């Protein structure tokens, strides 16, 4: 088994967010690999829970990352100009907090954080 460390992101499918978020996670948490779970507007999906199939799919993919790759950190990500979740920054910040609560409720032994990607593709941690 590879002894490299994994992190996980639950990110928007928007390709503009992938590289900056993955680089940030690698640097901040000293991980070698980043498992990436993508959906259009994942923070909306996780906060509203209107489509249980989508929520369960995200949970299943995270379980693989945690149980098989031994990921120790997961970030839920929102971003500026999201086509899948076209709401203002304040609403997305609230959704990020809700998405963190949802992921924590799944009971994985993992640090769950929230990230916001601004219009310049800079990463901000959401507390």
19-30 pLDDT, tens digit each = 999 999 999 999
Mean pLDDT of 7-13: 98
The answer to whether residue 127 scores a pLDDT higher than 90 is: no
What is d(CA 117, CA 4) in angstroms, rounded to the nearest whole number? 26
pLDDT at 73: 98
Q: pTM for the complete prediction?
A: 0.95
18-68 pLDDT, tens digit each = 999 999 999 999 999 999 999 999 999 999 999 999 999 999 999 999 999
Report residue 13 as tokens. Answer: 């499918």
Of 40, 42, 70, 71, nearest to 55 by C-alpha is 42
Q: What fold characterizes domain 6-126?
A: Beta-carbonic Anhydrase; Chain A (3.40.1050)
pLDDT at 2: 59
């Amino acid at each position: 088994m590879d002894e490299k460390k994994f992190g996980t992101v639950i990110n928007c499918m928007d390709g503009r967010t992938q590289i900056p978020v993955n680089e940030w996670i690698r640097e901040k948490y000293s991980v070698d690999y980043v498992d990436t779970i993508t959906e259009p507007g994942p923070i909306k999906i996780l906060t509203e829970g209107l489509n249980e199939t989508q929520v369960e799919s995200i949970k299943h993919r995270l379980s693989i990352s945690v149980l098989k790759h031994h990921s120790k950190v997961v970030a839920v990500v929102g971003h500026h100009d999201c086509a899948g979740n076209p709401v203002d920054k304040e609403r997305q910040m609230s959704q990020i907090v809700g998405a963190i609560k949802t992921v924590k409720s799944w009971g994985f032994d993992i640090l769950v954080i929230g990230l916001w990607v601004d219009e310049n593709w800079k990463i901000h941690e959401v507390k």
